[in-house]
Structure 1
Amino acid sequence: MQVSVETTQGLERKLTIQVPAEQVNLDIEKELQGIARSVKIDGFRPGKVPMKIVRKRYGADVRGDVLGKVIQRSLYEALAKESLMPAGTPEVEPKNLDDAETIEFTATFEVYPEIEVADFADISVEKATAAVVDSDVDAMLEKVRQQQKSWEKADRAAAEGDQVVIDFVGSIDGEAFEGGKAEGYALELGSGSMIPGFEEGLTGAKAGDEVELKVSFPAEYHAKHLAGKEAVFATKVQNVNVAVLPELNDEFATKFGLENASMDALRVDIRSNMDRELENALKGQVKNQVLEQLLAKNSFNVPKALVAEEKGRLADQMRQQMQLKAEDELPEAMTGGMEEQASRRVSLGLLMGEIIKKFEVKADADKVKEAVERVAAPYQQSEEVVKYYYQDKERLQEIEALVLEEQVIEKVLETATVAEKAQSFDEVMKTQGE
């Protein structure tokens, strides 16, 4: 077998492979003889069918099968010989399969990039320090209280924070548009759930009032056919409701499924959840800074085949979230940044893999156990959740991958410049949405 390698462009390689036709013909003959020993053809006893007839009837199919196997085997051997690892499935193209002396084909594919990991000393990270304090718990408890509020009818004008129950019909240039109509719609004024001007226009309205709301859809509105257009909503107010907040007492605490429910127990539970959220947020801040700088300081080509595969996975995940079928097309607005996102994911995966290899990072069993316990902590049957993860190999591997990532971040931070900055709980959590 003869092999030649050509670098076509970037990471793309082209193998030209030549295999002696004599070997192929011997394999074909061996297959045909095997068929002859067992085939049943009218007029002949089993094993006595002339090879001439066997070749005529089965020769073309056998040749195709043998060539397929020879190409697959030869490609594997050629890749091993040249120490090449394809990133994606090679594209095989037959060049000469009928020559009496040589069978020739080409295989085109991309290889993985060679990555020289840059010095971690060039990385600088701002690490926030924060803790959950009593006032943070008070604020969170008030949010929980707001979520448990009920509504009562009020015989007065609507104000911010009130709920109005309305019927409305929207129109553009005098024509009603799809999705612009509702009856008995409950809207909390000040919630920001409607387009600008809608909620403000209902402030001061009373039950029975009919209000004409003149508004404009934002230029970046998700429904493109409405974006930037002026609209009129003919609105009738059915009711004005005021919020009734529950008292913060032991009875209130019973709503949250706590054992020995009390306000003290609820505060402890809320603080525990906030501590966990804060820890994850602080780690996330550092992780994002490290990953962004690793990408910025380590430039390399990314195999297009891997990006295409990752883009397909992202699309599949999005279809699942939207409960679409596999063959359904996604809206263009949702796929615009998918190529860039896929490329970033692949780049990070390759870079992290190289760091893991270079520094021989292995998932620490104790840290894996801690990570599993953190995942299980919010559940009432946390011990059962831990068992579930250790019994499910795939789930455990997901946790191990996350732990490996954390250990890589730790490895980078050993050398990187780290400056601490004190922040409040709210300041840290606000960065999560940015």
Structure 2
Amino acid sequence: MKTTVKKLSDTKVCLTITLGADELNAAEQVALTKMARDLKVPGFRKGKVPVSVAAKHVNPMALQEQVLDNALSKAVAEAFMNEKLQALERPSVEVKKFVPNQEVEFTAEATVVPPVKLGDYKKLKAKPQAVKVDAKDVDEIIERMQQNFVDKAEVKRAAQEGDEAIIDFVGKKDGVAFDGGSAKDFALKLGGGQFIPGFEEGVVGHKAGETFDLDLEFPKDYHAENLAGAKVMFSVTLHKVNELKLPELNDEFAAKCGPFTDVKELKADIKREITTQKEREAKEKLKDELVAELADSSKVALPELLIDDQLQSIEQDLMQNLSYRGLTMDSYLKTQGFKDKADWQKKEARPAAEKRVKAGLVLAELSKELGVEVSREELDRQISTFKQQYGKDAKLAARFDDPNVHRDIANRMITDKTIDKLVELNSK
């Protein structure tokens, strides 16, 4: 086999491959062996026809087609491997010359993983962020815990900020009730910012038994397009006003929150939890900063094929996120100031896709540079962990028996180990 490589661009190559009689004869033997399995020849059982006999009974045209297919498939794989080229797609093959049993010349064109010139990965500037937990951080958690044990007492006075108001309300736009704008016996904490501006303030000062109207305006950036900036009127009936009283912060309260004998123990435990969380966040932030810095200092051409894949992934993730929040792509584009979807792709999605692709290529090269690998034992342990996590969903757990999933998991593990090594190299 003779191979010549022509570089079409930084990310595309075209291989010209020539095979001689030896390669074609070997491909013919493979083709005959395969065709003989289904051949019916008098005197032989199906599947037991010798290759020498099969050669006299097969369709010559069908045989040459199979020979060519076998020869090209094997040669393409070997040629890319021999030239140390990693194709990112199935190569496009075009036969230029074919003389049965003598010679075949063809081209194989494909997008390949481009060469990467790594920046100095041992002297990056990003440093870990110092973790500090203030008394205010602890107090905020304690206040949220107190909310879980709040005492409610009905009062006859006018509603004040901080009270809970039990209300019925109907919202109307242009005199017509709109979807999601009505409820009965709704418990609303005044001052919590749960409703649009002006609603909670409008309830303050009213007493149980009163019915009143609130003329309000939805924010211009409201997620529902039909209500964004709209003037509406809410008819509200106030049924009950509850005064909310937080439990006293004492040893008795601490005991309700867990195995604590006093407030000091409770606060110490909360501080430890916050510290652990902040340290975890600081470590993840450092990883992101180091990867971004290394990517910026490295040089690599970005294959459009990979960018397109990431663009699709980014769009799918966004659509899913918007769906969970009850929003549409059009409303998102409008509130974020994009003219249309193409404008969003150009200004937001494509830059993000390019960063992802570059970081992925750089980390893949770094893993080779550092010799990072994942053993079969490590992979099996990770797969076992995943299976235990999804054990209740048999269909989902079964996915982890797929070799392709194994490969994806191994690649993710190699990436994680590479980033950990990057952190280690820049923490000395």
* Cα distance change, pair 398–256 in 1 and its aligned pair in 2 (3 A): farther
Question: SS where residue 9 of structure 1 aligns?
Answer: coil
Q: Paired residue for 1:70?
A: 71
Q: Say whether residues 1:161 and 2:135 are aligned partners.
A: no
Please tell me whether the aligned partners of residues 319 and 329 of structure 2 are also in contact (alpha carbons under 8 angstroms): no
Letter in 1 for 2:78: E
Q: Paired residue for 1:116?
A: 118
Q: Paired residue for 2:391?
A: none
Q: Paired residue for 1:238?
A: 239
Please state how far the C-alpha of 1:279 moved relative to its aligned partner: 1.9
Q: Say whether residues 1:55 and 2:66 are aligned partners.
A: no
* 1:145-294 → structure 2 map (5 Å cutoff): 145-258=146-259, 262-294=262-294
Q: Paired residue for 2:394?
A: none
Q: Deviations over 1:119-176 (max 9, x none)?
A: 765x555765343355543443233213432433322222222222222333333333
Please tell me whether the aligned partners of residues 18 and 104 of structure 1 are also in contact (alpha carbons under 8 angstroms): yes
Q: Deviations over 1:77-134 (max 9, x none)?
A: 1112322122x2234244458664425242321323422315765x555765343355
* Cα distance change, pair 81–51 in 1 and its aligned pair in 2 (3 A): closer
What is the rounded CA distance, in whole Å, between the counterparts of 2:200 and 2:214 in structure 1? 9
TM-score by structure 1 length? 0.69
Structure 1 residues not aligned, in runs of 5+: 325-329, 373-392, 415-434
What is the rounded CA distance, in whole Å, between the counterparts of 1:38 and 1:310 in structure 2? 44
Residues paired across the two proteins, number: 376
Q: Paired residue for 1:409?
A: 423
* 1:132-143 → structure 2 map (5 Å cutoff): 132-134=133-135, 136-143=137-144
What is the rounded CA distance, in whole Å, between the counterparts of 2:225 and 2:115 in structure 1? 41
TM-score by structure 2 length? 0.70
Q: Deviations over 1:213-247 (max 9, x none)?
A: 33333333333343333333333323222212123
Question: SS where residue 158 of structure 2 aligns?
Answer: coil
* Cα distance change, pair 112–30 in 1 and its aligned pair in 2 (3 A): closer
Q: Deviations over 1:166-223 (max 9, x none)?
A: 2233333333333233223222222222233332332223323333333333333333
What is the rounded CA distance, in whole Å, between the counterparts of 2:72 and 2:198 in structure 1? 68
* 1:353-368 → structure 2 map (5 Å cutoff): 353-358=364-369
Please tell me whether the aligned partners of residues 117 and 355 of structure 1 are also in contact (alpha carbons under 8 angstroms): no
Q: Paired residue for 1:429?
A: none
What is the rounded CA distance, in whole Å, between the counterparts of 2:284 and 2:23 in structure 1? 59
* Cα distance change, pair 254–54 in 1 and its aligned pair in 2 (3 A): farther
* Cα distance change, pair 67–225 in 1 and its aligned pair in 2 (3 A): farther
What is the rounded CA distance, in whole Å, between the counterparts of 1:292 and 1:48 in structure 2? 62
* Cα distance change, pair 320–150 in 1 and its aligned pair in 2 (3 A): farther
Letter in 1 for 2:109: A
Please state how far the C-alpha of 1:289 moved relative to its aligned partner: 4.2
Please tell me whether the aligned partners of residues 32 and 59 of structure 1 are also in contact (alpha carbons under 8 angstroms): no
Q: Paired residue for 1:423?
A: none
Letter in 1 for 2:4: S
Please state how far the C-alpha of 1:28 moved relative to its aligned partner: 3.5
* Cα distance change, pair 297–271 in 1 and its aligned pair in 2 (3 A): same
* Cα distance change, pair 38–136 in 1 and its aligned pair in 2 (3 A): closer
Question: SS where residue 271 of structure 2 aligns?
Answer: helix
Q: Paired residue for 1:302?
A: 302
Q: Paired residue for 1:352?
A: 363
- Percent identity between matched residues is 27
* Cα distance change, pair 270–72 in 1 and its aligned pair in 2 (3 A): same
Letter in 2 for 1:412: N
RMSD: 4.3
* Larger RCO of the pair (alpha carbons < 8 Å, separation 6+): 1
Please state how far the C-alpha of 1:309 moved relative to its aligned partner: 4.3
Letter in 1 for 2:58: R
* Cα distance change, pair 155–192 in 1 and its aligned pair in 2 (3 A): same
* Cα distance change, pair 397–4 in 1 and its aligned pair in 2 (3 A): closer
Please state how far the C-alpha of 1:273 moved relative to its aligned partner: 0.3
